[in-house]
Structure formats: structure tokens, C-alpha cells
A = this chain, B = another copy of it.
């Protein structure tokens, strides 16, 4: 069973985080939600979710992938938290897949793991040092780095991760089951 780490911090975007957790768990992936600083984390729209562990308890070798939800409040914390940044660098040095959506590709850029071709929430690219920003794709992959745009693309982003980690059959079944035929 694949195991994915989703770190969340106060100010995270709730649709993005919850869509990723939900879609990946539906695919049978073991998703561990790790709170940065707190075990109960409040999103940008005042929704508080309970995390599974604290980021300080994370052992990076256990995980096959790490994915960051967006929201600027949460992203700024993910970009400055030492443990999160170390996890990103270690996963990248092991060529493990790393994902980020919305503002969160900025946290990958700060860690030095973002690659040239990426997408993000419109205007977040202005804070990012890489120049290959795409505005016309829901999901962009460059090597082990996969990025997406915002709340409206988060189910599609989760599905693409499912396709990569689990396979086409589960991807197709879930896309149909989620009624997300607009994901391309």
C-alpha cells in the first residue's frame, strides 16, 4: 500500500486539502495528515480539521510521496518550517514524487525542489523563481514534481496522483465515481 504525507498548517485551503485526502484514501492509499505546529489546524475559511500526527513525528523514509495543499497562510508556514523543508529536500534527493497545488508550489521553490515546468494559482507564479509557468493545464508534471492550480482543480489533481501511484483502472473508476468527468 502506497503511503502519502500531507502536511497542513493554519491558513490552508480547505477544499484543496480535503479533496486530496479524500480522493487518495478512496484509492486505497494510506494518507497521513501531519499538522505543522498544531494537531487541530484551522483553514483559510475557518474550517478546523483534526490531523493524524504532528510534523515533528514524521519519519520521511516511510512515505512514497508528499503533497502540499495551498492557501497563502498555510503555504507561508510550509515554506518557513524547517522540518517541512527538510522533508521536501530528502524526498527530492530520493527522487520520490512531490506535489503542490495553488500557492504551495512556492514552498517547493523555497526548498529548491520545484522544476522549470509547473503550474500554480494565478499570480502565485510571480513569487516563484522558475519561469516555465503554465496557465492552461489543470496539472503539470516535470520529473518527480507535480503541480496544480487551485480549489477547482484539486479533485483532478488527486486523480492524477492516483493514476501515478495506483494505476489507470483505479483512476478511471474513481473519476467516474466522483462525477469528475471534467478532469482532463
Please give me the residue from chain B that is nearest to A138 by CB atom. Answer: B179
Q: CB-nearest residue of chain B relative to A184?
A: B182
* Copies of this chain, whole number: 2
Instruction: Give which listed residue, B14, B46, B181, contacts A152 with CB less than 8 A.
Output: B181
Residue A160 at the B interface, CB < 8 A?
A: no
State whether B14 touches A22 (Cβ < 8 A): yes
Determine if B153 and A179 form an interchain contact, defined as CB atoms under 8 angstroms apart. Answer: yes
Instruction: Tell me, yes or no, whether A178 is within 8 Å of chain B by CB.
Output: yes
5 A-B residue contacts at CB 8 Å? A15-B18, A150-B178, A151-B178, A152-B155, A152-B182
Interface pairs A-B: 8 shortest CB-CB: A152-B180, A152-B179, A182-B182, A48-B50, A150-B179, A18-B18, A25-B45, A151-B178
- A128-178 at interface with B (beta carbon < 8 Å): 149-153, 155, 177-178
A49 at the interface (CB under 8 A from B): yes
| Residues of B contacting A60 in the complex (Cβ-Cβ under 8 angstroms) | none
Chain B residues with CB under 8 Å of A178's CB are 15, 150-152
Q: Contact: B50 with A49, CB < 8 Å?
A: yes
Q: DSSP majority for the A interface?
A: mixed
- Which of chain B's residues have a CB closer than 8 A to the CB of A151? 19, 22, 155, 178-180
Cβ of A83 within 8 Å of any chain B Cβ, yes or no, is no
- List B contacts of A19 (CB < 8 A): 15, 19, 151
CB distance from A163 to the nearest CB of B (A): 16
Instruction: With A22-B43, A25-B45 given, name 14 new contacts (CB 8 A).
Output: A14-B18, A15-B18, A15-B22, A15-B23, A22-B45, A22-B47, A25-B46, A26-B45, A33-B47, A48-B49, A121-B179, A150-B177, A152-B178, A152-B181
> How many angstroms between the C-alpha atoms of A43 and B40 in the bound complex?
16
The interface residues of chain B lying within 8 Å CB-to-CB of A152 are 155, 178-182
